[in-house]
Chain A
Amino acid sequence: MLQATSVLAKPSAWGSAEGWAAEVIAVFVKDWRCEFRTRYALNTLALFALTTMVVMSISLGPIGIDRTRGTKVLPVLLWVILLFSVSAGLPRAFIQEEESQTATALRLSATPSALFCGKLLYCLTLVGALELLVTPVFVTLMNLEVISPALLVGTLAAGGYGLAVGSTLVAAIIAQARTKGTLFSVLAFPVLLPLLLLAVELTFNAVAGGGGGVALPQLLLYDASVTVVGLMLFPVVWNP
């Protein structure tokens, strides 16, 4: 009996940071592999973003809006496009797991913090890809002149991270609820509003030639705060 028992698992001694990082990467790779095979989020995000940009370009583009008003309005529109594209695709990261009943297998296997970070990494790369697609097309179609490209890149990076981490956290909270769509909107509003206000201000500064001011540190502080809250809250909302 003693000899036979030894075949069964002993508690793993591999509880290291290396093992945790491998778990994060495994979740990230799995999510992208599934995404490449279904293209659900990619298609939703790209289709929504491109359709909105074309409509805006025809209505407000180079011939529809003068430069003075464009400088004020276009940064807002850029972030509206990014926000709604993200809202259409990102919540799937967790909701899909619940709807396809794979969440149980994940709950029984994954370390919650590693799962959260793996999903966050996936959402982050998805938002990054979206920004890479949307921003150049938007700037070209709207004939938007950017005085401080470096500030715009920094804003997109910090704002994109904020969108990814905020959406991942909200998606994790609502994944087990019945009325997911409504809840996402209600919960995402207070979580993402400060981020959007700061991102719009910084994008306006990038377009108009202003500096980062206090908005940039505030945006970075927001990103750090939501990440910490997410890591602390996720094990509670994920497990019963």
Chain B
Amino acid sequence: MLRFENLRRRFGRLSVLEGVSGEVAPGQALLVTGPNGSGKSTLLRCLAGLLSPEKGTIEYREDDKVLETDERRRRVGYVAPDLALYSELTVAENLEFFARIRRTSPAWGFEVLERLGLPADRMGGALSSGMRQRLRWAWALLHRPRLLLLDEPFQNLDAPGEQGTRDLLIEHLDQGGLAVVANPSSLEIDRVAGHLRLG
């Protein structure tokens, strides 16, 4: 269960989030929409533990245990346009490296790659924007997180890529996972339990 209440985050004088609240239960997704600059990415960064909200609370439970921010940060699966992996490494080397530091097997990440049709031997720097998005998905799912935070998750994907990632999202929710999906416009996703409009 993920619950956040009354979140506030400002950058200098610019107020990006003000009094934002929401919750997601296992097997459900929360859709966050709003125009550019409305704070969708900031909200997801706060939920991931990459930014600290100035006010408000974020409570995330796994197995009836509330996780501290440091623990939550390492558990979430996060897809975002500003997240990059190593261009000097191949796709496989990227997944193997992150599997090692996450102390997990890269097997599931490679399976996701295969399902999304991304060649493992391609250099990170030689990937198209759609391929980079597929790699972000494989990286985000590598450690089988229960909470997925997806910022514009279908950006730059062609039809098969979008279908593949949507299938992965639905499977994740079917298995009792949670997801927060941020997008500028509304998305048709099954199991959306709530819709948070920002801006």
Q: Is A105 touching B139 in the complex (CB atoms < 8 A)?
A: yes
CB < 8 Å neighbour of B70 from A4, A8, A27, A239? A239
Flag if A101 contacts B83 (CB, 8 Å): yes
- Cα of A223 to Cα of B93 in the assembled complex, Å: 34
State which residues 25-76 of B face A: CB under 8 Å: 26-27, 48-52, 62-63, 70, 73-76
Say whether A102 faces chain B, with CB atoms less than 8 Å apart: yes
Decide yes or no whether B4 CB sits under 8 A from chain A.
no
B5 CB within 8 Å of chain A: no
Question: Would you give the 0/1 interface string for B80-100, flagging 1 where the beta carbon is closer than 8 Å to chain A?
Answer: 101111111100010001101
> Shortest CB–CB separation between residue A175 and chain B, in angstroms?
15
Report whether A102 and B84 are in contact in the complex, using a CB–CB cutoff of 8 Å: yes
Nearest B residue to A36, CB-CB: B88
CB of A104 within 8 Å of the partner chain:
yes
B84 and A26 contact, CB distance less than 8 A? no
Complex CA distance for A7 and B171, rounded to whole angstroms: 11
- A/B interface sample: 28 pairs, CB < 8 A: A1-B27, A4-B176, A5-B175, A8-B144, A8-B146, A8-B177, A9-B145, A9-B146, A10-B63, A11-B62, A12-B104, A30-B97, A33-B88, A33-B89, A38-B88, A100-B84, A100-B86, A100-B87, A101-B84, A102-B86, A104-B50, A104-B83, A105-B139, A108-B74, A109-B102, A110-B101, A111-B74, A239-B73
* B-side interface size class: 35 or more
B177: chain A residues within 8 A (beta carbon) = 8
The CA of A26 and the CA of B89, in the complex, are separated in Å by 13
CB distance from A68 to the nearest CB of B (A): 49
Q: Which of A1-23 contact B (CB under 8 A)?
A: 1-2, 4-5, 7-12, 14, 19, 22-23
Residue of A2, A7, A27, A106 contacting most chain B CB atoms (<10 Å): A7
Contact B145 A5 (CB under 8 A): no
When distances are taken between beta carbons in the complex, the residues of chain B under 8 Å from A1 are 27, 176
How far does the alpha carbon of A239 sit from the alpha carbon of B72 in the complex, in Å? 13
Q: Which A residues are within 8 Å of any B CB, using their own CB?
A: 1-2, 4-5, 7-12, 14, 19, 22-23, 26-27, 30, 33-34, 37-38, 100-102, 104-111, 114-115, 239-240
Q: A4-B174, A8-B146 are in contact. Are A104 and B103 (CB under 8 A)?
A: no
Residues in B whose Cβ lies below 8 Å from that of A104: 50, 78, 80, 82-84
Residue of B49, B103, B174 near A19 (CB, 8 A) is: B103
Query: Is the beta-carbon distance between A109 and B176 smaller than 8 angstroms?
Result: no
Q: How far is the CB of B66 from chain A (nearest CB, A)?
A: 13
By the criterion CB–CB under 8 Å, are A109 and B50 in contact? no
- The verdict on A109 contacting B74 (CB below 8 Å), with A8-B144, A12-B103, A240-B51 known, is yes
Closest to A103 in B: B84
Cβ A101 vs Cβ B82 within 8 A: yes
Tell me which of A10, A14, A33 contacts B93 (CB under 8 A): A33
Q: In the complex, are the beta carbons of A107 and B103 less than 8 A apart?
A: no
| Selected contact of A34 from candidates B49, B52, B73, B89, CB within 8 Å | B89
**A26 closest partner in B (C-beta):** B100
Residues of A within 8 A of B101 (CB): 23, 26-27, 106, 109-111, 114-115
